[in-house]
Amino acid sequence: MDLDRLRRQEPAAFAELVKHHQPILLGLGQSLGLRGADLDDAAAEAFAAVYRALPRFEGKSELGTWIYSIGYRVMLKARTRVRKLAMPELPAIDPTDPSQSAEDKIEADETAEALWAAVATLEPRQAATIEFFYRRQWPIDQIARVLECPEGTVKTLLFRARERLHTILSRQKTFQ
């Protein structure tokens, strides 16, 4: 991505940036419990903050890390504002899987709902850590840079969140 064009806030370059980074930010919002219009609004606010800050981007960190740091902070504010978090309301996992019986599918859907509801109720930094570590498969140091905290803190967050999710999900039949 051309940083000079981005710093000049050229619409085409910015549209490319949004297209490239929106899946991660939307996924992060999803893990923080934001859904539907709230998620769209939070993503728009996050990218608006990025847009405003672009002329000041010095390139000391990776562009992606910088964007996700800003996005994370904005999403957190949005999460605080949207007090009532919508929990499930997610599409079912792999709806076209022919190997699943109807009963298995219902069980799997229930487990998925329980999982996402559990993730959304985690403390925000724990939810973000789970999103980045398990779903995006990022290394610890990258997560630490985005959350702007030491690696040790990320490990603690990950450990606690994992314990909590395992406890909740161990009650689900399809997770065992």
Partner 1 sequence: MNREDSKLPFEWTAADDRLGAMLRAQPEPMPASNLAHRAMMLGKARVEESAKLARFARLQRVLTAIAAVLILAIGGWIFRSHKAEGGFQPWSDTGVSETSTTVSSTDTGSSNSNGSEWMLVGTVLVVASVAVVTASKALGDERTPLAYS
For the chain, how many helices (H) and strands (E)? 8, 0
Distance CA 20, CA 147 (A): 20
Using an 8 Å Cβ cutoff, are 119 and 87 in contact?
no
Taking the complex as a whole, the smallest distance from the CB of residue 76 to partner 1 amounts, in Å, to 14
**Residue 146 or 165: which CB sits closer to partner 1?**
165
**Residue 101 or 176: which CB sits closer to partner 1?**
176
Taking the complex as a whole, the smallest distance from the CB of residue 66 to partner 1 amounts, in Å, to 16
Distance CA 12, CA 132 (A): 28
Phi/psi-derived region of residue 92, left when phi > 0, alpha when psi is between -120 and 50, beta in every other case = beta
Residues in touch with partner 1 (CB under 8 A): 9, 11, 14-15, 17-19, 22-23, 26-27, 29-30, 39-40, 43-52, 90-91, 93-94, 111-112, 115-116, 119, 130-131, 134-135, 137, 139-140, 151, 155-156, 158-159, 162, 165-166, 169-170, 175
**Residue 82 or 131: which CB sits closer to partner 1?**
131
Using an 8 Å Cβ cutoff, are 21 and 67 in contact?
yes
Distance CA 8, CA 57 (A): 11
**Residue 65 or 151: which CB sits closer to partner 1?**
151
**Residue 57 or 134: which CB sits closer to partner 1?**
134
Using an 8 Å Cβ cutoff, are 154 and 91 in contact?
no
Taking the complex as a whole, the smallest distance from the CB of residue 58 to partner 1 amounts, in Å, to 19
Taking the complex as a whole, the smallest distance from the CB of residue 165 to partner 1 amounts, in Å, to 6
The one-character DSSP state at 59 is S
Taking the complex as a whole, the smallest distance from the CB of residue 29 to partner 1 amounts, in Å, to 7
